[in-house]
Amino acid sequence: MALELYDTFQRAIRPFTPLRPDGVGLYCCGPTVYDYAHIGNLRTYIFEDLLRRVLQFNGYSVRHVVNITDVGHLVSDADDGEDKMEKGSRRTGQSAYEIADYYTAAFKTDFRALNLLEPAVWCRATEHIAEQISFIQTLEQKGFTYRTDDGIYFDTAKQERYGYLARLNRAGLQAGKRVDLGQKRQATDFALWKFSLPESQRQMEWGSPWGTGFPGWHIECSAMSARYLSPWFDIHCGGEDHIPVHHSNEIAQTEACHGTRLANFWMHGYFLQLDAAKMSKSGGDFLRLQTLIDSGVDPLAYRYLCLTAHYRRQLNFSWEALSAAGTALDRLREIYWHAPLGGRADEAFMKRFAEEINHDLNLPRALAVVWALVKSDRPEAVKRATLDGFEPVLGLNLAAWKPEVSDIPDAVRSLAEQRQQARMNRQWAVADTLRTRIESMGYALEDAQDGFRLIPQPVVID
């Protein structure tokens, strides 16, 4: 079955066909780096990683771009409120740039722990100020902007289809917000460039044709996706919260500047809920991946948990569900580990798996195929080879896992100790002979700082 994906813009599942023969352009809104990512944010990146892996499974090469929002923008949708980066700087005594570097590194650590594939491009907003200024200049030349005392704004009244992605009720929004519009003409208008206040001592500010200041929240994604992909590319992703504001505004800017709606498919990951409430960065307490790791949870168990829910459904987090995911993952690892090498993937199971993932990334049903395989009467070697066939999509890294072994036979342990002694005596030939004997008993031997480790090897059937 050919790949079909849900497009938020058209509110429909439709066949995916790349716009260009040389690969698929995929842009994902990245982290704001004034704090750690929480596991809700990470659910969205796991969804995007699965999307990329499914595209690759279908033979497409993917150019994956993720931005880092390191400008100290005003994260409130209303373009006001405190600047989180500058606030963090005052709190910690570090510079705003140091804070951004620190949280970017922390984010990438989480990214790798979840076995997420590295994007082709990570692009930082602060390194693309010139592109953002020139984008705003074009919008100005085309008559889509106006000036207020605090910045340059996008005039959403100039676009008939503004907010179509979210099916926004503009009249209703306007009526509801009439009181606190300030100098904005419409409730939906948004800042493209904000002026630094004369009395403020901002660390992140730049000169521009309109005065010293900093870019608004949305312009970086329109400007950087155009630079690294093109003004019209295949798929744009983010969390569901981006539909009404951030992505609606990205589309508005790009439509005004380039005449395209930016991406052929708009795809959104639904939220991870904690105690049925939205997990948010500004909400104070939130769970980090490191919090899970400190509680003894394998990060890949969290990845497995995310596979159990479709990306267009909200997922309620619970420690019980996480623990069940960890148990399921461990069972898969054991089965994989004990199965002999040398089998061939089962075509019927591969086909069923491909059908599920190609139907708008139905990973929960793909996992059901995994368990049907495991419980089937296929030979163990075939199961292992088929799991290898699923791995490029699931990314559970089954092959990297080794059981923790405490019950190594005394005879093997004693040989390893003798070898250790021989090495200390520089009797290399003796040590080599002992290693060969240990290996013939089904154990690999790794030298470790504190001595050695014995690792049982899977059985190989020729």
Integer Cα distance of 399 and 421 in angstroms: 32
CB within 8 A of 423, min separation 6: which ones? 431
Name the percent of the chain in helix, strand, coil, to the closest 5: 45, 15, 35
The smaller minimum CB distance to ligand AMP, of residues 2 and 277, is found at: 277
- Shortest approach of ligand AMP to residue 231 CB, angstroms? 21
Cβ atoms 203, 95 nearer than 8 A: yes
Could you say which of Zn ion, ligand AMP, none residue 272 binds, taking C-beta under 5 to 8 angstroms by partner kind?
ligand AMP
- Shortest approach of Zn ion to residue 248 CB, angstroms? 11
The smaller minimum CB distance to ligand AMP, of residues 134 and 291, is found at: 291
DSSP helix/strand/coil, 94: coil
The smaller minimum CB distance to ligand AMP, of residues 62 and 272, is found at: 272
The separation between CA 108 and the C-alpha centre of its own chain, rounded to angstroms, equals 10
Could you say which of ligand AMP, Zn ion, none residue 278 binds, taking C-beta under 5 to 8 angstroms by partner kind?
ligand AMP
- Shortest approach of ligand AMP to residue 279 CB, angstroms? 4
CB within 8 A of 336, min separation 6: which ones? 383, 384, 387, 398, 399, 401
- Shortest approach of Zn ion to residue 27 CB, angstroms? 8
Closest Cα to residue 314, out of 270, 265, 380, 365?
Answer: 270
The smaller minimum CB distance to ligand AMP, of residues 52 and 242, is found at: 242
- Shortest approach of Zn ion to residue 29 CB, angstroms? 3
Could you say which of Zn ion, ligand AMP, none residue 40 binds, taking C-beta under 5 to 8 angstroms by partner kind?
ligand AMP
The smaller minimum CB distance to ligand AMP, of residues 275 and 320, is found at: 275
Residue indicated by tokens 């692009």: 123
Cβ atoms 40, 272 nearer than 8 A: yes
Radius of gyration of the chain from its Cα atoms, rounded to whole angstroms = 26
Could you say which of ligand AMP, Zn ion, none residue 225 binds, taking C-beta under 5 to 8 angstroms by partner kind?
none
Could you say which of Zn ion, ligand AMP, none residue 32 binds, taking C-beta under 5 to 8 angstroms by partner kind?
ligand AMP
Integer Cα distance of 281 and 103 in angstroms: 13
- For ligand AMP, the binding residues (CB under 6 A) are 29, 31-32, 40-41, 43-44, 238-239, 241-242, 269, 271-272, 278-281
The smaller minimum CB distance to ligand AMP, of residues 272 and 385, is found at: 272
According to the 3-state scheme, what is the secondary structure of 269-309?
ECCEEECCEECCHHHCCCCCHHHHHHCCCCHHHHHHHHHCC
DSSP states of 332-397 as a string? HHHHHHHSPB-----HHHHHHHHHHHHBT--HHHHHHHHHHHHHSSS-HHHHHHHHHHHHHHH---
Could you say which of Zn ion, ligand AMP, none residue 221 binds, taking C-beta under 5 to 8 angstroms by partner kind?
Zn ion
For residue 269, the cross-strand partners are 239
The smaller minimum CB distance to ligand AMP, of residues 52 and 384, is found at: 52
Could you say which of ligand AMP, Zn ion, none residue 239 binds, taking C-beta under 5 to 8 angstroms by partner kind?
ligand AMP
Could you say which of ligand AMP, Zn ion, none residue 241 binds, taking C-beta under 5 to 8 angstroms by partner kind?
ligand AMP
Cβ atoms 313, 319 nearer than 8 A: no
- For Zn ion, the binding residues (CB under 5 A) are 29, 221
Cβ atoms 294, 113 nearer than 8 A: no
Integer Cα distance of 272 and 259 in angstroms: 34
Could you say which of ligand AMP, Zn ion, none residue 44 binds, taking C-beta under 5 to 8 angstroms by partner kind?
ligand AMP
Query: What is the number of the residue whose Cβ is closest to ligand AMP?
Result: 239
- Shortest approach of ligand AMP to residue 123 CB, angstroms? 15
- Shortest approach of ligand AMP to residue 5 CB, angstroms? 17
Cβ atoms 360, 1 nearer than 8 A: no
The smaller minimum CB distance to Zn ion, of residues 30 and 299, is found at: 30
The smaller minimum CB distance to Zn ion, of residues 245 and 292, is found at: 245
